[in-house]
Structure 1
Amino acid sequence: MLKRFFLASLMVLSVAPAAWAQGQWPDKPVKFILSQPAGSGPDNVARLLGERLGKPWGQSVVIENKPGGQNTIGAQAAAKAPADGHSFYFATTAALVTNSYLFKQLPYDPQKDFVPVTFIARSPFGILVRADSPVRSVEDLIARSREMGGQFTLGNEGARTFGGMIARLFNARAKASANLIAYASNGASVQDLLGGHVQAIVADVASTAALVKQGRLRLLAVTAARPVPGFETVPRLADLLPGLDLVGWFALVAPTGTPQAVIDRVSQDVSMALSDPEIVQRMATLGPIAEPGWKPEQLGTFLREEHARWGSLAKEIGVLPE
């Protein structure tokens, strides 16, 4: 009797991966957990993908926003989510990489609590001023910051955020003297720029593209080394400051222990969605640049390389974890 029980157990274990692969997943709504609020750049992209993926999966994709704590609230929630193949973390650079160099203690482990699924998109940042600003170029901004010292203000989403790190690196490498003003969010910095309370900001292109196209903000430069679709004529910081390629990104990861067959299926389906011309076009209007075709192991290698790169950059500007 006992022997038959063990044989039956082994059969169930051997059949389980095949069952996942044969489409018995998902059997309930799939959850994408985000560390950003509704209406943010990552949220817009996640909802666009969720809308497309819900059709082949036969289940709705629920977007669960858990903003706050500089990504730690959402990341912790995702790390503790059931590893049953129905919960994923729609993560950003800050959550998976740069937070490791900004905080002495995190309520989650970026490298141990998650397994890679697939890359989603790159999200370039930019340096922006009001459309009526006398600052017409990055060179002009650098010169004015030196002349004015602490009187020239450069806003960002927070000292210990990806945007804040970009602002510090820009100041250091350009030998600028901008007074870095930290905000609680990109949205708050944008509103203060529009209101004339700061003279320039560092913000992601996705959240500011509409205001640039409306003629309310001027994009002086992008932080990507490659041209940004829709803003091909905008100067790149890398042309002025060689090697400065600071691009945010979105990636999908899952709680450690999630079945590999599900991870492979989701990775494949997301890549197919990102290859759809309609999705590419719609995403381009939001700002991020889709990058389909990433396998889980490729994302794993990329994350390790990003940790090494940002560890070096953190030392360069003297960032100490707090």
Structure 2
Amino acid sequence: MLRSVFAGLAGTLAGVALGATLGLLPGAPAFAQDFPTRPITLVVPFAAGGSTDLVGRLIAQRMTQELGQTVVVENRGGAGGNLGAAAVAKATPDGYTILMGTVATHALNPALYKKMPYDPVKSFASISLLAIVPNVLVVNPEFPANTVAELIDLLKKDPDKYSYASSGNGTPLHLSGELFKSMAGVQMQHIPYQGAGPALNDVLAGQVPIMFDNLPSSAGHIKSGKLRALGVTTAKRATSFPDVPAIAETIPGYETYTWNALFAPAGTPAAAIEKLNKAANAALADPAVQAKLADFSATVVGSTPAELDAHVKAELAKWAPIVRASGAQLD
């Protein structure tokens, strides 16, 4: 970006002086044409093994090829994604630290937390909306329910007996469960974990019988029979699991999902954003990447920074009333 500014001011003493001044300002590095020249850190604000981690590692691997520098995934979970997102918001805005943002970090948490360590709009520079991902209601194979209707019957007969796991308080998976409870008129205890991976491990082990998970992280276990899928949370069935009904087929109007997008700290030079956007969208255009995302019914998007800006604002407006209706509130 600074290179184009200098070109426009070339030949004038004022332009030379301005260029020298900008070059010395802390936090405003002169952006080289050959960015990136060193590895880039992609912060995934949840534990390893969950959907966000899987998508992040898939995209990071392909972006590494596009950029010619390694994109290193760093898992930094906690506070429903707030810790990792806040770390990126406060990072040097040079393009070398970016965030795998989600509906939690940029739409749910602002409605859930009384105090946020960042602003979901002002603290970030949008890069690209990557994919929209279904959630799924799964149970341990030993659990005595094979359908959503049977689960509802069990919960109504013994409302204090059963519990469900999620990736943490206030996450999309937690709210998927709370919306289910509200719309089905049932009770079950919520057990939050520090990420979907640890929660899933306990469901697989039979420690907790029920979980709302992102479909990508449960897909392999569903196919192998280690988990039983009762329903997907999107309005229609997932293309990769056509035999698994939508929860909405039993509870009309029920719908939740998550999404993944790349963000950089606010103030990151436009030249860096442009290169990162091109690399991300090129990764999404790769047939191999598309095939892997399709395996768990993620809808590939790819967007401009402006389109992601608009998406975040729309999601904030959508989820705020849902969170209020759920009664969920975190300090």
Q: TM-score, normalised by structure 2?
A: 0.86
Question: Residue in 2 aligned with 1:149?
Answer: 159
Q: Which segment is superposed worse, 124-133 or 138-147?
A: 124-133
1:215 and 2:225 aligned: yes
Question: Residue in 2 aligned with 1:295?
Answer: 304
> Could you tell me the percent identity over the aligned residues?
30
Deviation at 1:9, TM superposition (A): 4.1
Secondary structure of the structure 1 residue equivalent to 2:159: helix
In structure 2, give the amino acid aligned to 1:6.
A
1:309 and 2:283 aligned: no
1:51 and 2:58 aligned: no
8 Å CA contact 1:192, 1:198 repeated in 2: yes
1:264 and 2:274 aligned: yes
Q: Which segment is superposed worse, 184-193 or 172-181?
A: 184-193
8 Å CA contact 1:79, 1:113 repeated in 2: yes
Return the alpha-carbon distance in structure 1 between the equivalents of residues 162 and 41 of structure 2.
43
1:78 and 2:112 aligned: no
8 Å CA contact 2:48, 2:197 repeated in 1: no
Deviation at 1:220, TM superposition (A): 0.3
8 Å CA contact 1:274, 1:291 repeated in 2: yes
Q: 1:45 to 1:158 in 2, by over 3 A?
A: closer
Q: 1:23 to 1:212 in 2, by over 3 A?
A: same
In structure 2, give the amino acid aligned to 1:66.
R
In structure 2, give the amino acid aligned to 1:236.
A
1:7 and 2:38 aligned: no
Secondary structure of the structure 2 residue equivalent to 1:134: coil
1:166 and 2:176 aligned: yes
Question: Residue in 2 aligned with 1:90?
Answer: 100
Question: Residue in 1 aligned with 2:291?
Answer: 281
Deviation at 1:313, TM superposition (A): 0.1
Q: Structure 1, unaligned stretches of length 5 or more?
A: none
The alignment of Structure 1 onto Structure 2 pairs a total of residues equal to: 314
Secondary structure of the structure 1 residue equivalent to 2:160: helix
Deviation at 1:247, TM superposition (A): 0.5
In structure 1, give the amino acid aligned to 2:15.
L
Deviation at 1:204, TM superposition (A): 1.5
1:243 and 2:253 aligned: yes
Deviation at 1:45, TM superposition (A): 2.0
Deviation at 1:60, TM superposition (A): 1.5
8 Å CA contact 1:53, 1:269 repeated in 2: yes
Deviation at 1:306, TM superposition (A): 0.8
Q: Deviations over 1:64-111 (max 9, x none)?
A: 222223212211110111111222111121111111122111222222
Deviation at 1:290, TM superposition (A): 4.4
In structure 2, give the amino acid aligned to 1:303.
V
Q: TM-score, normalised by structure 1?
A: 0.89
Secondary structure of the structure 2 residue equivalent to 1:221: strand
8 Å CA contact 2:133, 2:214 repeated in 1: yes
Deviation at 1:236, TM superposition (A): 0.8
8 Å CA contact 1:222, 1:237 repeated in 2: yes
8 Å CA contact 2:78, 2:194 repeated in 1: no
In structure 1, give the amino acid aligned to 2:298.
I
Q: 1:4 to 1:294 in 2, by over 3 A?
A: closer
8 Å CA contact 1:127, 1:219 repeated in 2: yes
Deviation at 1:121, TM superposition (A): 1.3
Return the alpha-carbon distance in structure 1 between the equivalents of residues 81 and 289 of structure 2.
26
Deviation at 1:129, TM superposition (A): 1.2
Deviation at 1:146, TM superposition (A): 0.8
Q: Identify which of 32, 35, 46 aligns with 1:25.
A: 35
Return the alpha-carbon distance in structure 1 between the equivalents of residues 185 and 320 of structure 2.
21
Q: 1:309 to 1:209 in 2, by over 3 A?
A: same
Q: 1:79 to 1:288 in 2, by over 3 A?
A: farther
8 Å CA contact 1:101, 1:321 repeated in 2: no
Deviation at 1:157, TM superposition (A): 2.6
Secondary structure of the structure 2 residue equivalent to 1:270: helix
Deviation at 1:262, TM superposition (A): 2.5
Secondary structure of the structure 1 residue equivalent to 2:182: helix
